[in-house]
Every structure is written in structure tokens, then in C-alpha cells.
Amino acid sequence: MRPHAEYIGSLSASFNYLDLNNVVNLRNVPPTPSNYAQRSGRAGRSGQPAMVVAYCSAGSPHDQYFFRHPELMVAGAVSTPRIDLANEDLLRSHIHAIWLRETGLNLKSTPAELVELMGENPSLEFLPSVQAALADQAALDRTKTRAGTILSGMQDDLKKAAWYSDGWLDEVVLSIRQSFAAAMARWKHLYRTARKQVEEQQRITLDHSASQIQREIAERLRREALLQIQFQSREGQARCRRERVYSLLYAGVG
């Protein structure tokens, strides 16, 4: 019987067994009743009975409080979800998403499909199709128009935000291309670092003046770097989809 771990929230996990699939073990007491309902709801679906176990740490005042008053967590009121419409990061990401739609740029499955990877020392320059999207001024104009329409219906909230000004939208639109390139720079750095590690560790594995332990460590590090490259390249597309690692994370539109 092989367990399958499924992560819930930030630091909790459930384990799904073929014949034991209605148990949730929480490593601590969740912050609020709504968190508790979401995490404990992983078990007992379809009307099945379930067991939920929450560990209460002696060193956590939060855990100890609800250990003494469990009814406040288990049967507590779930607050109505709220969202701050005047959240600058949220609005900026939404405008980036509008721009991606207006350019028609397909982010594919991995960032590797957006750059040049040919040769022993790939340039990692954007492909022509990506460069064309970045240079599309009409797409920027359409983005500004659509975003302006959205923001016009939020003026009451925006006027209360300390970060907002009349020129904010212009600044965001003008910096979209730079923001996209900066987001992709993180992936490029990771890719180049992995390739450099492969080369450096390969030299050590072939250096017979190095000790056996040094060569074994170098070989392990070389394999790890190769796996990292595979994960970041087109070869890792299926794995990226399976593990839900999308290019949107790098593009800053999520």
C-alpha cells in the first residue's frame, strides 16, 4: 500500500491510502475556522465519516488557546471572503495579463520555449515571435484602453490608496516589456547556473588528481544540475504540466 501525499495550504498535508482515505492530520491548529474547514474538508467527502486530528503545540499560544476552546475552531463562524480591489500587485498582474492577451503571446509550457536554446552555449535570446510581441505598440495601446476602462469603475477605491496616482496606469503600461524581461531573467539565471554547474562538476569527475570522494560528490552534483536543466527545458514540459509549474509564475501575471 503506497501513500500519496497531497499538500494543503502552507504546511499541512493529507495522505491518501487505498483503504484509509478519510483521515486528515494537521501539524498545527489552522489560523481561522475557515482554514480549518478547508483543510479538514479534504476528508469525509460524499457523505463518508472522517477523522480530523490537529496537533496542538505546547509552545504555541494560538494552539493552546484552541486546545482549551476547540468549539471556537471546529464550530466557529467562517468569515465572508474579501478582496482588496485597490491592491497594487493584483492590479498590476491583471494589466500584465491583459497585455499578454492583446499580444496573443503564447507562453507555452515552459520559459524554455520562448528563448533560443541551440548550441553548446545558447544565447537565451527571445525567439522572433516573442520579440515581435514585445515590440507591438498597438497591443500596448489596446492594453491601456482596456485597463483604463477597468480602473474607471474603481476610482472610489483607488483614490483612497496611497500608491495610486493619475499617472500610475501609464507607468505600468510603459514598463510592461521591461517587467516581462525581468521576470524571464530569473529563469535564465537558473538555467545558466545549472549549465555552469554541469561543466564545473564534469571537470572534477574527469580529474584523476581529485580523490574518489570528491569525484563521487561531483558526479552527484552534475546529475542534479542535469535534472535541473531537463526540468527547465522542453524535455521537462510533461513534468511541468504534471506538477503545475507554469510559465505564468515567471511572467509575473499570476
**Tens-place pLDDT, residues 144-202:** 999 999 999 999 999 999 999 999 999 999 999 999 999 899 889 999 999 999 999 99
CA nearest neighbour of 231 among 186, 184, 200, 187: 187
- Say whether pLDDT at 13 is over 80: no
- Reported as a pLDDT band with limits 50, 70 and 90, residue 5 is very low
Overall pTM > 0.85: no
| Residue burial 5-23, b: 16+ Cβ < 10 Å; e: rest | eeebeeebebeeeeeebbb
pLDDT recorded at residue 3: 39
Q: Express as a percent the part of the chain with pLDDT over 90.
A: 51
